[in-house]
Amino acid sequence: HAAVRPADEVPHFSWREGQVLQSRYRVVKLLGDGTFGRVLLAEDRQESGKVAIKVIRNVDKYIRNAKREAQILKDIRDAGPNKAAACVHMLETFTHEADKGRFFCLSCEVLGESLYDHVKRNRFRGLWVQDIQSIARQCLEALAFLHGELGLTHTDLKLENVLFKSTEPMPASDFPREALWKEKHRSSNHGRSHPEYVRPTDTQVKLIDFGNATYELEHHSATINTRQYRAPEVILALGWNERSDLWSMGCILMELYTGDLLFHTHESLEHLALMERTIEPFSGSMMGRVGDARRQHFVEQDPDGGRDCRLHWPGGASSQASERRVAGQGPIARLVLPGHRPLAEFVASLLILEPSRRPSASAALAHPFLFESFPD
C-alpha cells in the first residue's frame, strides 16, 4: 500500500507542443500554472479557434473542486448564452489518459488579461471612469442573472477574477488623472520614468473562477472571499447571501478608480474599523446580533449594562500603527475628483454595512451613475 503523496508533490501534467487531447485539441503552449493544475492554449480542430484547457493535478480535492466548478459552468451555459454573456464560457470536460495517470480537463474560451494584471501593468494608475462604468454594468448584469435566475453567489469577486474578453494588444493612451497619481506616489516615483499607460479598446469583461460559487440552498461556508473584498456580515459571522457579492463589487470599482485596495488590511477588527471610517459606524442592532465567539473580539458592551453595543475600537486595536492606519482612512467621496462624485455615490450605495439594506444587483443596475456620460 503506497503512501499518499502530499498534494504539492503531485506532478503537473507533462505536455508537449503539438500533442492532441480528446482527439480534438492541439496543444500550442503553456498559459500558466496554479496550485490546482495548469492551463494550456490549444487549437480546437473541430471549431477552428483557440481554447484554454485547464488540466487538473491528480489530487482528489482539486479534482472534486474542478468537477463542481464544471457543473456550475454547465448550469450557467444551459441557462442561455445571452444571459451568461459576462461569465466565462465552458465548452466541455473530459478525462485525458496519460502514462502518469488520468487527468480531468475543462476546455473554455480564451480570455485576455485580468483587471488586476491590467492595473498592475499600468503601475496601479486605475482606469478611465468611462471604462469603470462599462465594467460595472457588465458585472452587475452577470450578477443579476447569477443571483436572480440561478440563486448562485460567486463568493470570490476580485480584480483577479474579472478578465477582459479581448486578447488583442492594448494601445497607448493618456491617463486623465496622471497628475493626481504622480502626487500620490511622489516619494516612491522620484526621478523614475513611467511606463506608458495602455487603455482597452474593448471593455468587454467576463467573470471567472466559479470554484467557490454557492447555491442558495447549499451549505454556506463560514468564511468566503479574499479578505480585502469580504463583507462585514461575513467577518461578524451573521450569515451571508448573494448581497455579499455586491459588497465585493463596491470594493472592486473603487480599486479600479484609485489603483489601490479600498480596505488594505490583514486583520478582522482593523478591517471593521476601516469600514466605519469609510462608511459609517455599525448600528447597535447589527452589533447586537453578533454571536458570543466573535463578540469578545469585536464588540464593546455598554458599561452601564444597557443594550447599546458598538465596535471595540480603538480599545481593541492590536497596535498604535493599526490605530494610525484606521485614522488615515476617510470617506469614499474624498477619494474621487469632484466631477466623479456620481461614482463615489454609486460605490457608497453598494457598500452598505447592513446586508438587508444593500441593493440587489438588478436594483443597482438602475443607479444614475450607469447612465451619466463622463468626458473623464
Architecture of domain 115-371 in this structure: Orthogonal Bundle (1.10)
Residue 42 near residue 21 (C-beta atoms within 8 A): yes
pLDDT, tens digit, for every residue of 152-193? Answer: 999 999 999 999 999 999 999 999 999 888 888 777 666 567
Only one residue has cell 448600528, namely 283
What is the set of active-site residues? 156
pLDDT, tens digit, for every residue of 113-165? Answer: 999 999 999 999 999 999 999 999 999 999 999 999 999 999 999 999 999 99
Note the Cα 213 to chain centre separation in Å. 12
Q: What number is the average pLDDT over the span 280-293? A: 95
Yes or no: is domain 7-109 CATH 3.40.309.10? no
Whether a cis peptide bond, with omega within 30° of 0, leads into 314 is yes
Q: Residue 303: what pLDDT? A: 72
8-state DSSP, 114:
B
The 3-state DSSP class for residue 345 equals: helix
Residue 90 near residue 107 (C-beta atoms within 8 A): yes
Kind of pairing between the strands at 299-301 and 309-311: antiparallel
pLDDT at 316 over 80: yes
- Tally the C-alpha atoms within 13 A of residue 239's C-alpha that lie toward its C-beta: 5
pLDDT at 24 over 70: yes
Q: What number is the average pLDDT over the span 64-81? A: 95
Percent of the chain with pLDDT over 70: 96
Q: What number is the average pLDDT over the span 74-99? A: 93
Q: What number is the average pLDDT over the span 249-269? A: 98
Residue 209 near residue 245 (C-beta atoms within 8 A): no
**365 C-beta neighbours (distance < 10 Å), count:** 15
The reply, when asked if residue 29 is annotated as ligand binding, is no
Q: Residue 289: what pLDDT? A: 95
Identity of the residue numbered 10: V
What own/partner pairs with CB < 8 Å and gap ≥ 24 does 285-290 have?
286/232, 286/236, 286/238, 286/353, 286/354, 287/311, 289/236, 289/238, 290/236, 290/237, 290/238
Residue 125 near residue 197 (C-beta atoms within 8 A): yes
Q: What number is the average pLDDT over the span 63-85? A: 94
pLDDT at 1 over 90: no
The C-alpha atoms of residue 86 and residue 109 are separated, in whole angstroms, by 12
pLDDT at 284 over 70: yes
The C-alpha atoms of residue 56 and residue 36 are separated, in whole angstroms, by 6
Q: Which of 201, 134, 199 lies closest to 173, judged by CA?
A: 199
Q: What is the largest CA-CA distance in the chain?
A: 75
Q: Residue 6: what pLDDT? A: 75
Q: Residue 180: what pLDDT? A: 84
Residue 42 near residue 27 (C-beta atoms within 8 A): yes
- pTM for this one? 0.95
Q: Residue 243: what pLDDT? A: 99
pLDDT at 62 over 70: yes
pLDDT, tens digit, for every residue of 208-254? Answer: 999 999 999 999 999 999 999 999 999 999 999 999 999 999 999 99
Percent of the chain with pLDDT over 90: 87
DSSP readout, 171-185?
PEE--TTHHHHHHHT
Note the Cα 177 to chain centre separation in Å. 24
pLDDT at 350 over 60: yes
Residue 249 near residue 140 (C-beta atoms within 8 A): yes
Q: Residue 191: what pLDDT? A: 58
Domain range annotation of the chain = 7-109, 115-371
The C-alpha atoms of residue 209 and residue 267 are separated, in whole angstroms, by 25
Q: Say if 7-109 and 115-371 have the same CATH topology.
A: yes
